[in-house]
Structure 1
């Protein structure tokens, strides 16, 4: 079988090797607390006031205290994921950053934005692997950053924002998310997980992955690598991901 990429994507996400970053601090492990909130839909569609109400009701004081204790008197910069989604411009991460700024005294940076509409909410794992969020813009990088998002699943959004930030000289101290499952806390790839993935798929799938996405398996998140590890048919992985990419390309024209 040829390892040549069967398709191309116009823009590739920036990823960086993991440096032992801490787990994602998740405020609500039960995602229904956030998704079931009366202001969730409007906040997701760009209503800033609805987003503030949602965040005020769902930010976890214990997690805020964890953030305070972990970094002590260090000054971090809060960098929210600013993204246009299928429902509209998601206002939740910025509202989170604003409220965390009030609680912790840290600055908020909004100079980096997601430049594509990934529309990954409620999509399956193959779609999330195939359609990577892309970021653009610049930021004042004199302080380390805490990246802020509303949901963490496989972790690609945070990983790609981290990669873009590191490309322009920034340092990432950690991550926080309003909601996500326990298994999504770990974002930095474990060497043991990488070894299992490479043992299962050998070099063929990784070479194809590098050709299509522009980065190797070392830059996957822990959840992405686990997802690929339990799907042992490399040919099916290629076909499923190619189908999701073409689906997205057909939708956006």
Structure 2
């Protein structure tokens, strides 16, 4: 078994009854084959505006209003540095949502919470995503409600980590919304049957190792993360794949 290089710990908080993420386009090609997508992903604001205007789903804008239940909230976009620039899509999406919700909900956008590391998740494997958790920094308004906004949801780890950061500093995350992602990725809270299968297959020893390595137990995984780990043949493969992912990024 390969030794695992030290992993930066991202705080995670209990899921409770956290709702499914609202995904505006569950057909990923609708977004990723848009002529403005690549430029938007690499930081071009005008391209991001065009992309968001063409793909934001008005039905889900109504759903956001319903989920807020009259509460005021802060929209927090995920800032991520990509290969050729900072991904502007989440910020543009948050600003578009703020405009659409004007007069219907008490919403404002913050640009103060930023990604504190370059995780390199775009196009990465599930092992790489888990081995290199996204970390965040920035001021949190204690007692305030937050809605996370991102351009893509895969395993949901970035959302889980940002939720953990906000809530460990006194805020409350009540919802997450993304421009695109597979429909099954919307389920963030790991369900009991999935957790039972994960624990039955890989045993208590792996969960103890996971807790000492990442700082949380399996119950704070996303549903997609838990299912991904369950598909691995055994616990040693999980540890080896994570170690390889760490080594490849930090030779």
- TM bucket, shorter chain: over 0.9
SS of the residue aligned with 1:146?
strand
Partner of 1:46: 43
1:13 to 2, 10, 13: 10
Once residues 145 and 40 of structure 2 are traced to their aligned partners in structure 1, the CA distance between those partners, rounded to angstroms, is: 28
Contact 1:25 1:175 (C-alpha < 8 Å) held by counterparts: yes
Once residues 7 and 61 of structure 2 are traced to their aligned partners in structure 1, the CA distance between those partners, rounded to angstroms, is: 39
SS of the residue aligned with 1:176?
strand
Once residues 90 and 63 of structure 2 are traced to their aligned partners in structure 1, the CA distance between those partners, rounded to angstroms, is: 19
Runs of 4+ in 1 over 3 A off after TM superposition: none
Q: More displaced, 71-80 or 235-244?
A: 71-80
- For residues 5-50 of structure 1, what are the alpha-carbon distances to aligned partners after superposition, in whole Å with 9 as ceiling and x for unaligned? 9233252111112111000000000010111111111111111121
1:23 to 20, 24, 27: 20
Once residues 233 and 114 of structure 1 are traced to their aligned partners in structure 2, the CA distance between those partners, rounded to angstroms, is: 32
Contact 1:25 1:176 (C-alpha < 8 Å) held by counterparts: yes
Once residues 88 and 19 of structure 1 are traced to their aligned partners in structure 2, the CA distance between those partners, rounded to angstroms, is: 36
Q: More displaced, 230-239 or 34-43?
A: 230-239
Partner of 1:210: 211
Contact 2:8 2:133 (C-alpha < 8 Å) held by counterparts: no
Q: How many residue pairs are counted as aligned between the two chains?
A: 247
Aligned pairs for 1:211-250 (under 5 A) are 211-250=212-251
Partner of 1:120: 121
Q: More displaced, 55-64 or 135-144?
A: 135-144
Contact 1:7 1:212 (C-alpha < 8 Å) held by counterparts: no
Once residues 6 and 137 of structure 2 are traced to their aligned partners in structure 1, the CA distance between those partners, rounded to angstroms, is: 17
Once residues 75 and 216 of structure 2 are traced to their aligned partners in structure 1, the CA distance between those partners, rounded to angstroms, is: 26
Contact 1:86 1:117 (C-alpha < 8 Å) held by counterparts: no
Once residues 39 and 239 of structure 1 are traced to their aligned partners in structure 2, the CA distance between those partners, rounded to angstroms, is: 38
SS of the residue aligned with 1:177?
strand
Partner of 2:158: 157
Once residues 194 and 41 of structure 1 are traced to their aligned partners in structure 2, the CA distance between those partners, rounded to angstroms, is: 37
- For residues 180-233 of structure 1, what are the alpha-carbon distances to aligned partners after superposition, in whole Å with 9 as ceiling and x for unaligned? 001101011222221221111111211222232222211111100011112131
Deviation at 1:103, TM superposition (A): 0.9
TM-score where L is the length of structure 1: 0.93
Deviation at 1:142, TM superposition (A): 4.0
Indicate the RMSD between aligned Cα atoms, in angstroms. 1.5
Contact 2:41 2:48 (C-alpha < 8 Å) held by counterparts: yes
Contact 1:24 1:187 (C-alpha < 8 Å) held by counterparts: yes
Partner of 2:29: 32
Contact 1:109 1:139 (C-alpha < 8 Å) held by counterparts: no
Q: Which runs of 5+ in 2 are unaligned?
A: none
Contact 2:42 2:85 (C-alpha < 8 Å) held by counterparts: yes
Deviation at 1:65, TM superposition (A): 1.1
Q: Which runs of 5+ in 1 are unaligned?
A: none
